């Protein structure tokens, strides 16, 4: 169980560049609920990992960067740039706001917010 939530979430974000969903597992609560860019919620660690396996297979590059981050009790709010590149395309800098709720030292709720129309335009090139 971690007590430094700021460092914990920063380490989590750094793992995305490896494009290996199994590396996300140690950060996620078994009952995690994930909402990505306004899509339907994904419930449970296994389902979240499966979603990220698909995302990692789709994108040639994935690089997430934290711009600013704030912690209040068990909530971490992070302004991020999600760098996403489809095969043969440049890295698209998608601005994102992420909210993480920590329970039992793990991410129990995770919500990503962005302008999906603009993000799709950036990724498409």
Structural domains for the chain: 5-124 (3.10.450.50)
- The DSSP code for 90 is P
Flag whether pLDDT at 2 surpasses 80. no
pLDDT tens sequence across 31-88: 999 999 878 999 999 999 999 999 999 999 999 999 999 999 999 999 999 999 999 9
Strands 106-113 and 28-36: parallel
Residue located via tokens 């990505």: 36
Residue with tokens 């994102």: 96
* pLDDT single digits (tens) 10-40: 999 999 999 999 999 999 999 999 999 878 9
Cα gap 91→59, rounded to integer Å: 10
Over the stretch 111-124, which tens digit does the pLDDT of each residue have?
Answer: 999 998 898 899 98
């Amino acid at each position: 169980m971690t007590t430094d939530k700021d460092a914990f979430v920063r380490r989590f974000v750094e793992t995305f560049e490896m494009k290996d969903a199994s590396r996300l597992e140690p950060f996620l609560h078994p009952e995690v609920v994930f909402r990505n860019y306004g899509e339907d919620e994904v419930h449970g660690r296994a389902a979240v990992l499966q979603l990220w396996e698909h995302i990692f297979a789709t994108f040639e590059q994935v690089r997430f960067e934290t711009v600013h981050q704030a912690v209040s009790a068990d909530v971490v709010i992070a302004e991020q740039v999600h760098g996403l590149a489809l095969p043969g395309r440049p890295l698209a800098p998608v601005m994102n706001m992420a909210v993480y709720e920590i329970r039992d030292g793990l991410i129990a709720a995770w919500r990503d917010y962005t302008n999906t129309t603009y993000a799709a335009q950036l990724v498409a090139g």
